[in-house]
């Protein structure tokens, strides 16, 4: 991720590979974890920490098939190792992508 201070809803959607309406929906439903600021036009601006939380929500809902309530409970309980599992899986996906690139170049 770059060193940006704020991300627009469109940028977050692009990072997740989802549409903006889903990002907006998650923003509205995970208010305990995501805290967007608003610019003068009223557009949501997300911090890098918010983007990391979106990635965790995306993983829990899309990859682990948890309900929104289940994801909210898991994030709220700060279950031991939950954050570490997310980080390990993200790193493994990066490695897989790199390996696929190398394989295609051979």
Contact 57, 38 (CB under 8 A): no
Residues in the chain: 106
What is the three-class DSSP state of 5? coil
Is position 68 within any domain? yes
Query: In this structure, is residue 94 part of a structural domain?
Result: no
Any domain includes 40? yes
pLDDT in tens, the chain (106 residues): 567 899 999 999 999 999 999 999 999 999 999 999 999 999 999 999 999 999 999 989 998 899 999 888 888 886 555 556 667 777 788 888 888 988 898 8
Within a domain: residue 106?
A: no
Residue 57: CATH number of its domain:
1.10.1660.10
Tally of structural domains, the chain = 1
Q: Are 57 and 26 a contacting pair, CB within 8 Å?
A: yes
Domain assignment of residue 41, yes or no: yes
* DSSP conformational letter for 59: I
List the structure tokens of 60.
């829990």
- What is the reported pTM? 0.74
* Domain membership flag for residue 29: yes
Domain that holds residue 57: 7-79
Helix (H, G, I), strand (E, B) or coil at 4: coil
Task: Compute the distance between CA of residue 54 and CA of residue 34 in angstroms, rounded to an integer.
Answer: 8
């Amino acid at each position: 991720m770059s060193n940006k201070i704020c991300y627009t809803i469109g940028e977050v959607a692009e990072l997740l590979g989802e549409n903006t309406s889903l990002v907006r929906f998650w923003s509205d439903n995970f208010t305990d974890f995501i805290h967007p600021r608003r610019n003068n036009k009223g557009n949501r601006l997300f911090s890098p920490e918010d983007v990391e939380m979106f990635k965790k929500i995306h993983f829990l809902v899309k990859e682990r098939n948890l309900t929104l309530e289940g994801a909210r409970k898991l994030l709220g309980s700060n279950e031991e190792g939950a954050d570490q599992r997310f980080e390990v899986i993200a790193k493994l996906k990066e490695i897989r992508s790199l390996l696929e690139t190398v394989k295609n170049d051979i």
